[in-house]
Amino acid sequence: MPELPEIEIVKRSLIKMINKARIIDIKISRKSKYLILHFTKKILLIHFGMTGKFLVLNSKKKEIAKTSFYYDLNILPKHNHIYFFLSGGKTLIYNDVRRFGFMKLYNNRKINDVKHISKLGPEPFSKKINISYFKNIIKNKNVNIKILLMDQTFICGLGNIYVNEVLFMSNINPLRKCKKLNNNEIKKIILNIKLVLKIAISKGGSSIKNFNNTDGKSGSFQQLFKVYGREKKFCSSTPCKGIVRKINISNRSSFFCNKCQK
DNA sequence: TTCTTTGTTCCGGA
DNA sequence: GTCCGGAACAAAGA
C-alpha cells in the first residue's frame, strides 16, 4: 500500500507533468456498470462502487465549500474526493461515502482490452441475450438462477436489486437450478431483464441509500420495487396473498414471495 | 461491538 | 485445470 512518501512523489510528479494542463476533448460511454470517459489520448474508467456519485456545481472553486447545495440534498462535502474544475466556472465533483468506487486512467487503447472489461458477458439489451444463448450456457451450469444472473461473465450489468426484481416478475424462485428452467421461464427472464432496466432508467434509477444524478437529485425507481427490501410484507402482486421472505444467497440478501415464486 | 450494504476477488475442496 | 460455495475486502453508519 502506498504511504506518505509515495503519495508525495505522485503529487510532485503530477505537478511537474500535468499542472495547468487542460482537458480539450471528451466523450462518454458506459459498459456494464462502468462509466468511461474518452479523452483525446487517455481513457478514464470509473466504477461507482456502492455510494459513488458525480455532482455538477455551478459554483466556482472558492464557493464550493460554503454552498448549501450539499445539506439540502443530504450530501456531505467531507466525502468529496475529486474536484474537476472546468472552464466556464462549473465544477465536477466525485463524492463517495463508502469509498468502494475507483477511477483508473489508461493510455488510449481498445477499452475492451482493459482487465475489468475484457471478461464481461453481453450487455442486457444486446441481441446476444436470447434463448439459445441461455440454453447453451445453462446446460453445463450447476448454479441457481440468482447466481447465474449475478455472474458478470454471463450477462453484465445486473446487480442484486435488479436480479431480485427480475425473478419476482418472472415468478421464479432464486434457488431454482438454472439448468432446470424451461423455455417459457427463460423467455420471461429475458423479457423482464430488459423491462425492469428500461423502467428504472426512465425513472432516473434507484436511490437505495445513495444514488443521485449529477443535479444531486434522487431517482424514484426504488418506490416501484416489488420485492427488494420487502421482507415480511405481503406480496405486491394481486391477488396473491403470499409473504415476502428474505434469505441469503452467496452473502447477498435475496427476497422472494413464498407463494408466487415456487 | 456487530451487522449491513455492493461488486469483485480469492481460496479451498471436490 | 475447472467449477462452485463461501469468505474476505473496501468504509461508514445504524
Q: Which domains does chain A have, with CATH numbers?
A: 4-118 (3.20.190.10), 131-257 (1.10.8.50)
Q: Which residue is nearest to nucleotide C8 (CA to C1')?
A: A251
Mean pLDDT across the stretch A70-86?
Answer: 76
Distance of C1' in C10 from CA in A239, Å: 43
Distance (Å, whole) CA A57 – CA A91: 5
Distance of C1' in C6 from CA in A92, Å: 40
Q: What is the model's pLDDT at position A90?
A: 78
For residue range A14-52, list pLDDT tens digits in order. 677 767 766 666 778 888 888 888 888 888 888 888 778
Between A116-130, A188-202, A212-226, A240-254, the lowest mean confidence (pLDDT) is in A212-226
pLDDT above 60: residue A162: yes
**Catalytic residue set of A:** 2-3, 33, 252
Q: Which nucleotide is nearest to A157 (CA to C1')?
A: B7
Q: What is the model's pLDDT at position A1?
A: 42
Between A34-38, A84-88, A162-166, A258-262, the lowest mean confidence (pLDDT) is in A84-88
Distance (Å, whole) CA A36 – CA A46: 6
Distance of C1' in B12 from CA in A93, Å: 42
Between A3-7, A187-191, A224-228, A234-238, the lowest mean confidence (pLDDT) is in A3-7
- Containing A188, the helix (H) or strand (E) segment is helix A183-202
Q: What is the model's pLDDT at position A49?
A: 82
Is there contact between A194 and strand B, defined as CB under 7 Å from any strand atom? no
pLDDT band at A99 (very low <50, low <70, confident <90, very high): confident
Q: What is the model's pLDDT at position A209?
A: 39
Between A3-12, A112-121, A147-156, A249-258, the lowest mean confidence (pLDDT) is in A3-12
User: What's CA A164's distance to the chain center, in Å?
Assistant: 15
Residue A218: strand pairing partners? A212
- Containing A105, the helix (H) or strand (E) segment is strand A102-107
Closest CA to A150 of A138, A160, A142: A160
Mean pLDDT across the stretch A64-86?
Answer: 72
Nucleotides of B under 7 A from a protein CB: 4-9
Is there contact between A160 and strand B, defined as CB under 7 Å from any strand atom? yes
Average pLDDT, chain A: 80
Q: Which nucleotide is nearest to A140 (CA to C1')?
A: C3
Nucleotides of C under 7 A from a protein CB: 3-13
pLDDT above 60: residue A212: no
Q: Which residue is nearest to nucleotide C11 (CA to C1')?
A: A98
Residue with cell 505537478: A15
Distance (Å, whole) CA A168 – CA A257: 7
Distance of C1' in B13 from CA in A110, Å: 38
